[in-house]
A and B are shown apart, each in its own frame.
Chain A
C-alpha cells in the first residue's frame, strides 16, 4: 500500500523558516518524480515544486522561487521542502504527491503551515 506521511508543519512568524518532510512507503521511491502542492484555507490547489527521481532537476512555482527548496534522500525514502522567508500568504495545507504516468496518483494527508505574528 502506497503511503505518504508529511510532518514538520506548525505556527511560525513571518520571515521565519520551516522544513517539511514526507516519508514514502509502498513503492520504489527512487524511481518517481515527487511534488509539493499546497492549499490555502478554503482555496484551491496550487502546485509549488517538483524534484526528479534522481534529484537532477528541480522546478518551482514563481510564488515560492528563491525562498523554498525541494530535496530528497532516496536512501531514507524521504522528500523535503525547506521554506525560508515565510509570508502570511504561505499559510496553507502542504501535500506531497507522487506523480506517475497517470497523474498525481497518491497524496499525503497533508501538513498545516500557519504563518502569523
Chain B
C-alpha cells in the first residue's frame, strides 16, 4: 500500500533561518511527486512536480529535490509570508487518478 510520511509535523523558524521539510514515500512505482502550499481556509496551491530521482526544481526561496525514497523541500532565508502548511502528495502507478497526501508540515516564520 502507498504511504507518504511528512516530517516534522510543525516547524517554527526565525526570518532568514533556512530549513528543510521531509517527505518519505513508499510506492510500487512513481508517476509523480507533488508539493503544495496551503494557507488556512484556502485550497492547496501547486508548487512543484518531480518525476524521477535526482530531479530538482526551484522557485524563489523554495527548492524541491527527489530521491527514490524521499523528497525534500528546502526553504532558504524564509520570510513571514512563507508561513503555511506544506503538503507532499504522491501519484503512484497503482492509482490512476488518486494522489496520496502526507499529513503536511505546518511552517511558521516569525520576524
Decide whether A and B assemble into one complex.
Answer: no
